[in-house]
Structure 1
Amino acid sequence: MLDLKTQFPRPSSLKSIKIGFWFRFCIFSFLLAGRFIPASAQLREHEFQSVPDYVKKSAPLVWLHSEDPFLPSDLLTHIQHTTPAINQVRIPGFDRKLNLDNLAGLNNLGEPDEVFLTSNDSPTSSPFPSWLYGQGPDSSGRIHDAVPCIVILVEKGLRELDAFFFYFYSYDQGGNITQVLEPLDSLFKDEPAVMQGMHFGNHIGDWEHNMIRFNDGKPIGMYYSQHSDGQAFVWDDSKLSKENGRPIVYSALGSHANYASPGNHVHDAALVDYCDAGSRWDPMLSAYFYSLEPINFTLTPLSNPESTRIDQPTSFFYYTGKWGDERYPDDDPRQRTVPYFHLRQFESGPTGPRSKQLVRKGLHPDFRHRKSWMEWGVSVFMIWYPCCLRGWRVWISGAVVLGGVVAAGLGLRYGIRYAVRCYMRQGYRKLDTDIPLQDVEGRTRDD
C-alpha cells in the first residue's frame, strides 16, 4: 500500500520548493545578465577612481598656431597674478592668498557674477606682462610645471558618458582689421585706431573646450567650442581628422577657438580665424582629472598615471565669478572704442567650466547663443554679398529687384481692377435674380 504522505509532499513543502526554485532562477538570471552589461557600466565603480582607458585613447590633441604668442597657461599662476574686484574696485587682503583650493570663497563677496579676477598688471603696459603669454609644449607635447587643462567626466546613466576637455589661456587676443571680411572692412577706413591694427574684443582669461560623447565605451560624437557658439561632428565624419584614434583640434590664432581643420574659418558671419599646425600639445599630460555627479553637481578627483600631478584641487570649479578683468569703462585710458559700432579694445573675462552646460542632451549646449537683430542682418547680407552684391553684380541685382517691385506693383494694380470688375458683375447677376424682368413687364401692362 502506498503511503500518500511520502509520495506527495504536503502543501507547505510545495510552497518551499517553489520559493527555492524562484530564488535559484533569480540568482542565475542576475549572473547571466552580468555577462551582457556594457563595459562602461561594469567599470562604473572604477571610473570614479581613475580615468577610463577608452577616454585616454580618444582624448584630443591640440595644434597651437605657429604665430600665436599667447599659449596655454597655468591656472594657479593666473590666480596669483590677480586680485578680486567688484565694480572695478579691488578688494584688499588677498595678496598671494588665493589658490585653487580656496577660490570658491570669493562667492561670499557678492552676487554670482559680480566678482572679477582682475589682473595686477595692465595689458597695455610695456613690456607686456610675461605671465599672460603662458607656456608652450615640448617635443613630446607636454607642458612642464603648469596645468592649463582640466578633464571632467560626466556619467549619464550606465551606458553614456560625456568627457569635457577644458583649455585655459591667460590672455585672449581678439581680431583686427585684417580679420574683417570685405566689404565690412571698408566701414572702418575712417577709424585710425582700427586701421593701425588695433585688436578689439581682447580679454584676460580664456576658457575653451571640447566634449566627446561615449556610448558603451565607444566615442560617438565631438563638440568644438568657438566664440559664442561651436561645431559638433559625429565620430565617423570625414571632417574629423585623427591621429592614432585621437581627434585633432586646431587652436585659432589669438582667439583660441577650436576647429577640426587648419586654414581660415569664418565666424560671426564677417570675421576670420586662422589655424595651422604649429606646435603639438597633448592636454592629457598636464591636466587635472575629475568626475562630476550631474544631479548634485559634485566634483570628485580622479587619478591618471600619465599625468605628473598629484594634487587635485576642486574649490576653483565652484567659483562663480569671472576669470579676468571687467570690461574697462569708455573713459578708462586703457580702453579704446570704435564709434557707432561699439567695438571695444577690451571686454570682460569669461566664466569658468562650471557655467559651460556640463549636463546637456546633445553635443551642442542646450541653450545656445541667440543672435541679435544686427547679427542676423550681417549674416543675411554676407550670404548675399558674394553672389549678388559684389562689384558689378550689385547693379544687376538692383535691376532685378527693381523689376520685381515694378512687376509686383503692376500685378497688384491689375489684380485689384480685375477683382472690382468681377464683384460688379456678381452684383448685376444678383439684382437680375432678385427682380426678374418678366415681373416688371407684367406690372407695366397692368398699369
Structure 2
Amino acid sequence: MHHLHRVAFVVTTFIIIVILLTELPRALNPVPPSKEKVDADQRWVNTSPYWLDRQACRWMGLCGLMHLKPDPPERLGFAEEDVCTNADAMRRQSVSSALRGNVRIHMSNETRELRGVPDYVLDYAPLVHLYSEEHFWPSDIEDHIRHVMPYVDDRLLNQTEALDLASLNQLDMHPGVTFLKSNDNVECRPLWLHSAANIPIPFEDGTDEYDVDIGTSERRPLYEYSTWFDVDKEHPLHLLSYPSEQPGRGARIPPFSRRSHASLSRERHRIATRGTQNKPNEEGYSRAPATLILVDKGSGVIDAFWFFFYSYNLGQTVLGTRYGNHVGDWEHAMVRFLAGVPRAIYFSEHEGGQAYAWQAVEKRGNATQSQRPVIYSAVGSHAMYAMPGNHPYVLPFQMLKDVTDRGPLWDPSKNFRSYWYDYSAMEGEGLEPTTENPDAPTGWFHFNGRWGDQMYGLNDRRQWRLFGQYHYVAGPQGPKFKNLGRREVCQSSRCRILHSIAEGMKGSWFS
C-alpha cells in the first residue's frame, strides 16, 4: 500500500509539473493566440501519425516525445539513420544547384536624388558584443538566398533563375505564404548556417583604448522635455515646456553641426571603396554587412534601425532539451535621434524588446570620439541586451534563458547596406538606397514571406513541443514587418523606456 501511495504521489507530481510548465507560458504570453492561431495549432497537432502522440499533445502538452534527442550546435558525425544523406535532402540540393549560379544584382542607371547617411547616425552607431562561444555568426542575406528555395505549402515554386535580392518580392505574386526553405537538412549543420568566415576581426587592443561608461549625467535641456519618445509625421513633436536655458559655453555641440575627423575618414573610405566587392579588413569588421534603415518621423526625429541577419537561430535548452530553432534570424537595434542628438535606444528580444533612455546604457568612446552604445548578443538566439549575463524569459524559475558576454566586438558601421524608408508610401514602395550605395537592391525589403523553413509538423522526426515550446519554429519575416513607422521607441505597447540598466535587469520583454 505504501508503494502504491508513493507511485501515486510521483504520478500526481509529474502531472502537476507538466500542467504548470504548459499553462504558465500561455498565461505569461504577451501575445495571446488568435482564433486563427488556435485553429492552426489543431491542424499542427493532427500532423502526427500517432494517435497516442496526438492525445498526449492535446491533453498534456507533450508533443513528439518519440522524437526527443540531443541537439548540439555542431554535428561532428552522422548516425546510421541520420537523414543528412536522405534522398529528399539530396533532391532539394540538386534542384537548387541547377538554379543557383551567381545571385544577380540589378544595377540601375536611373538618375535619382538620393540622400546620404547623416554623420551623427554613424557617430553613434552601436557596437555589438557577440557571444564568445557562438556557433552561428552574422550572415549576408545575399549569401543566405543561395542556399534556399521558395516553397508554398510544401510545394516548390518553379524558378527559371536563381533568387536575387533585387527581385525577391516577385515571389509574393504566388498565392499563399512563401517560405525560403533550406536546401539542406539543418540538423546536419551545413557550413553556410554557421557563417564562420564572418566572425568580426577583433579590436587589436581589446577594450583598453575605450572609456567604458555605463550611464551618464549629461543632459540637453533644449530637448529633454519634448515628445521625442512618441512622434511620427501625423503627430509632430511638441515641447512639454519651454526651457529658458540654452546651450552655452562648454555645452556639447550637436553632431549634425560639425564634421569630425572620423566622419571625414569615413567619407574618404566610401569614395575609395565604392563599387568594389572586397572591403579592407578593419578592426571590428565583419564580411557580413549589417542593414541600416533610416526613417524620418518628422519634427527633426530620425529613427536609425540597425538590422542584423543570421542564417540560423539556435534555441536555448531546458532540462537538456532545445527549443526555438529556426532558419533565418533578423534582430535589430533602433536609435532615436532628435535634431542629431541620440535620445533612446531599443533592443529587440524574441517577440518584443526593451528600450532605454540614451544616458542609461553602456557606451564606448573617449574625449575625441562619440560615445557609442554597446549591445550584447545572446548565444544562439542573438537576442539583444544592454548588459552581459543571464536573461531568463517565458518559463518560470529561470529554466529558459539567454546568455550574453563580452565576446568578439562587432562594429556594424564598418560594413553595411543603407536605405531611407518612407513608411507612408504605397505598398511595395518607399525604400530607396542612400548615396553611399546607390545601386543597393530593394526588392528583398518588400518580400512578404518568411526567411526560413515553415514550422515542421509532428510527422517530421526533427520536431517536438514540450511546455508550450517548439523545437523548431517558422522562419521570421524581414525588417519591413518590424513596425518601422511606430510613434514610440518600443515595438509593442507593453514596452516602456527604462532609465537604468538596473531597472532593465528586473524584468524582460514579456514582463
TM range (shorter): 0.5 to 0.7
Equivalent residue number for residue 453 of structure 2 = 325
**Secondary structure in 1 matching 2:322:** coil
**Secondary structure in 1 matching 2:187:** coil
Judging by fraction of residues, say which structure has more helix.
1
> Residues 133-161 of structure 1: CA distance to partner in whole angstroms, max 9, x if unpaired?
122111211113x32x1100001114111
Residue 294 of structure 1: CA displacement?
A: 2.6
Residue 311 of structure 1: CA displacement?
A: 4.0
Q: Give me the whole-angstrom Cα distance separating, in 2, the residues matched to 1:87 and 1:122.
A: 18
Paired residue for 2:363, among 224, 233, 241? 241
Residue 61 of structure 1: CA displacement?
A: 0.6
Aligned amino acid, residue 403 of structure 2: Y
Equivalent residue number for residue 414 of structure 1 = none
Equivalent residue number for residue 480 of structure 2 = 354
**After superposition, where does 1:276-287 map in structure 2 within 5 Å?**
276-287=405-416
Equivalent residue number for residue 53 of structure 2 = none
Cα 1:216–1:130 change in 2 (3 A) is same
1:60 matched to 2:126? The reply is yes
Q: Give me the whole-angstrom Cα distance separating, in 2, the residues matched to 1:333 and 1:56.
A: 46
Aligned amino acid, residue 100 of structure 1: L
Q: Give me the whole-angstrom Cα distance separating, in 1, the residues matched to 2:493 and 2:431.
A: 23
Paired residue for 2:419, among 280, 286, 290? 290
Aligned amino acid, residue 261 of structure 1: M
**Secondary structure in 1 matching 2:142:** helix
1:142 matched to 2:261? The reply is no
Structure 1 unmatched runs, 5+: 1-45, 178-194, 370-378, 384-447
**After superposition, where does 1:18-33 map in structure 2 within 5 Å?**
none
**Secondary structure in 2 matching 1:98:** coil
Residue 64 of structure 1: CA displacement?
A: 0.3
Aligned amino acid, residue 284 of structure 2: G
Cα 1:93–1:220 change in 2 (3 A) is same
Q: Give me the whole-angstrom Cα distance separating, in 1, the residues matched to 2:435 and 2:182.
A: 32
Residue 292 of structure 1: CA displacement?
A: 0.8
Q: TM-score by structure 1 length? A: 0.63
Paired residue for 2:465, among 316, 333, 337? 337
Residue 303 of structure 1: CA displacement?
A: 3.2
Equivalent residue number for residue 435 of structure 2 = 303
**Secondary structure in 2 matching 1:106:** helix
Equivalent residue number for residue 206 of structure 1 = 329
Q: Give me the whole-angstrom Cα distance separating, in 2, the residues matched to 1:63 and 1:47.
A: 36
**After superposition, where does 1:110-129 map in structure 2 within 5 Å?**
110-111=175-176, 114-125=177-188, 128-129=189-190
Percent of aligned positions with the same letter in both sequences? 40
Equivalent residue number for residue 131 of structure 1 = 192
> Residues 243-288 of structure 1: CA distance to partner in whole angstroms, max 9, x if unpaired?
4411001000111000011111122253211101110111122211
Equivalent residue number for residue 29 of structure 1 = none
Task: Report if the CA contact (8 A) 1:233-1:240 is conserved.
Answer: no
> Residues 373-425 of structure 1: CA distance to partner in whole angstroms, max 9, x if unpaired?
xxxxxx9xx99xxxxxxxxxxxxxxxxxxxxxxxxxxxxxxxxxxxxxxxxxx
Larger Rg: 1
Task: Report if the CA contact (8 A) 2:353-2:491 is conserved.
Answer: no
Residue 87 of structure 1: CA displacement?
A: 1.3
Cα 1:268–1:343 change in 2 (3 A) is closer
Q: Give me the whole-angstrom Cα distance separating, in 2, the residues matched to 1:298 and 1:310.
A: 15
Q: TM-score by structure 2 length? A: 0.55
Task: Report if the CA contact (8 A) 1:360-1:366 is conserved.
Answer: no
Residue 368 of structure 1: CA displacement?
A: 5.7
**Secondary structure in 1 matching 2:484:** coil
Residue 88 of structure 1: CA displacement?
A: 2.0
Task: Report if the CA contact (8 A) 2:326-2:453 is conserved.
Answer: yes
> Residues 323-364 of structure 1: CA distance to partner in whole angstroms, max 9, x if unpaired?
0000011011222333xx343211100000000000111110
Q: Give me the whole-angstrom Cα distance separating, in 1, the residues matched to 2:114 and 2:297.
A: 13
Equivalent residue number for residue 338 of structure 2 = 215
RMSD after superposition: 2.3
**Secondary structure in 1 matching 2:355:** strand
Structure 2 unmatched runs, 5+: 1-111, 203-282, 496-506
Residue 221 of structure 1: CA displacement?
A: 0.5
Residue 47 of structure 1: CA displacement?
A: 10
Residue 93 of structure 1: CA displacement?
A: 2.5
Residue 100 of structure 1: CA displacement?
A: 0.6
**Secondary structure in 1 matching 2:170:** helix
Q: Give me the whole-angstrom Cα distance separating, in 1, the residues matched to 2:168 and 2:139.
A: 17
Equivalent residue number for residue 265 of structure 1 = 391
Equivalent residue number for residue 109 of structure 1 = 174
Report how many aligned residue pairs link the two structures.
Answer: 295
Aligned amino acid, residue 301 of structure 1: P
Task: Report if the CA contact (8 A) 1:79-1:98 is conserved.
Answer: yes
> Residues 287-319 of structure 1: CA distance to partner in whole angstroms, max 9, x if unpaired?
110001131050110134xxxx67411010000
Paired residue for 1:161, among 280, 302, 318? 302
Residue 92 of structure 1: CA displacement?
A: 3.0
Q: Give me the whole-angstrom Cα distance separating, in 1, the residues matched to 2:158 and 2:459.
A: 24
Task: Report if the CA contact (8 A) 1:156-1:294 is conserved.
Answer: no
Task: Report if the CA contact (8 A) 2:313-2:382 is conserved.
Answer: yes
**Secondary structure in 2 matching 1:56:** helix
1:363 matched to 2:489? The reply is yes
> Residues 42-97 of structure 1: CA distance to partner in whole angstroms, max 9, x if unpaired?
xxxx9952110010101111110001110000111111100001112222325x61
**Secondary structure in 2 matching 1:236:** helix
Using CA pairs under 8 Å that are at least 6 residues apart, name the structure with larger relative contact order, 1 or 2: 2
Aligned amino acid, residue 333 of structure 2: N
Q: Give me the whole-angstrom Cα distance separating, in 1, the residues matched to 2:377 and 2:438.
A: 28
Q: Give me the whole-angstrom Cα distance separating, in 2, the residues matched to 1:174 and 1:227.
A: 11
Aligned amino acid, residue 293 of structure 1: D
